[in-house]
Amino acid sequence: MATHDKGQGFRRGGGPGAPSAWLATLLVASVVMAAPAPAALPIAPGQAIPPGPGQEVPSLAPMIEQVTPAVVNIATEGHIQLHLNPLFNDPFFRRFFGIPDNQQLEQKTASLGSGVIVDAEKGLILTNNHVVANADQIFAKLRDGRKLQAKLIGTDPGTDVALIQIKGERLKALPLADSDKLRVGDFVVAIGNPFGLGQTVTSGIISALARSGLGITGYEDYIQTDASINPGNSGGALVNLRGELVGINTAIFSKTGGNIGIGFAIPINMAKRIMDQLAKYGDVKRGSLGALLQDLDPQLAEAFNLGGQKGAVLVNILPGSPAEKAGLKSGDVVLLVNGKPVAGAAELRNIVGLMRVGDKATLDIARESERKQVTVTVAEKPPEPSPEEGAAEGGKAAHPLLAGATFGDIEEGEAAGSGVVILSVERGSPAWTSGLRPRDIVVAVNRRPLKSVEELTAIASRNTRQLLLQIRRGNANLLIVLR
């Protein structure tokens, strides 16, 4: 069971028998929740059900009866290494407490979760990575009572997807839906093994789509639902009213541990792409453009004359990266990937990150007043440079939008001559209000790379109404529009 605390109220984890750390703030799909009001049945407004025999009451039962044999209960047994006080590394203390010198301190773990059979012939089951993490043994219990040992095929912590395999006869798999066609308001049903009680069904609707930036996993594009997701539901099925799998239940949002009707599921289209790699290679080798990204917000869209459009801005191109080899430049705005519109930086990162190293991506970009199409062969992300930088004595740039900031040339290390460093920023000044901070590196102004404070001053003095700054802040890059 994986547990950690992001401080955002997201909950993930295992079930009964798991270590006490499962009470941490972040426990995926494993918190006690008060059941919300069930979603209404999909009946036409004002439709009445006549009384009397022979009148069918609308029910999800026929669909549920077809679906539930494909949803399994998962139990795991494993161990984790304990990180105790460093004193226990001292041979004297180990002898005092009777711990052999060559013995690793560890704790046994057990967790409960769910899984979905997606290939009956091969016995392939999709579940969450955190359900099977640290597992030495994995067992899948079918609805008919059979308990089969499962083999771990592969896991991907970046999306919290895992693929396991069982051998058995008369297995039934769920058909996969196209999760890209989901709409807010669609009815859905969540199926899993809450609290180890056995298979349980809850209903709800799609509350939102493409949720990201939650800090639950590295690659996020969640379906949000109000269908109850309880401890043990992790890895279970989210299905539509046709009985097709639309998502893998993963997490809830709760600051108190109680259910407030906000649950998250991995879209099946994303899970399938990961599953295909795990089934073929046993792991996931993510593609990368080698570019640092930023959302095309309304302010930047106006600065780029792209008002009303969405996309992702390439803030910085890493040396030797696929983006550089394809001719992409800082300030390019990616509007489409393989013909699909890009809503922002997170979506572009997900699309490319779910591609295999060596795959090709066709990008439609906007560069100043031009529209271009560029083909990039994705590769593993190159290491980011971490130069030791030194700055010369600073001065103030001659522009009212930069008032309050003191700048210096970069003279030492690999980054010498590649931007100017902000030495100080007066609180409350125009520069501070615009978001500039000490130790920021101004790499370019109005798309023109900088080498010195003198160049910054010259460029800034010729642009009195607006400045577009490309900033490097630690390991992050961003664009700031000053008006």
Enzyme catalytic residues:
130, 160, 234
Name the residue among 93, 345, 73 with its Cα closest to residue 195.
73
Handedness of CA 95, 100, 101, 103 (dihedral sign): negative
Counted residue by residue, the chain has a size of: 483
Q: End-to-end CA distance of the chain: give it in Å, rounded.
A: 50
Residue 6 near residue 216, CB atoms below 8 Å: yes
Nearest to 353 by CA among 411, 417, 277: 277
Read off the tokens for 237: 């099925």
Q: Is 20 exposed, middle or buried (0-12, 13-18, 19+ CB in 10 A)?
A: exposed
Residues 6+ apart with CB under 8 A from 62: none
Give 479's contacts (C-beta < 8 A, 6+ positions apart): 294, 300, 313, 315, 331, 468, 469, 470, 471
> CA 242 to CA 191: how far, in whole Å?
14
Alpha helices in 309-407 (DSSP H): 322-325, 345-353
Distance CA 366, CA 289 (A): 17
Residue 286 is classified by DSSP as B
At residue 450's C-alpha, the angle toward residues 448 and 452, to 5°, is 150
Give the integer Cα–Cα distance in Å for 201 and 244: 15
Instruction: Please state, in angstroms and rounded to a whole number, the distance separating the CA atoms of residues 159 and 472.
Output: 28
Closest CA to 384 of 296, 472, 480: 472
d(CA 410, CA 416): 5
Label residue 95 exposed, middle or buried (CB < 10 Å: 0-12, 13-18, 19+): exposed
Q: How far is CA 95 from CA 80, 83, 100, in A?
A: 22, 18, 7
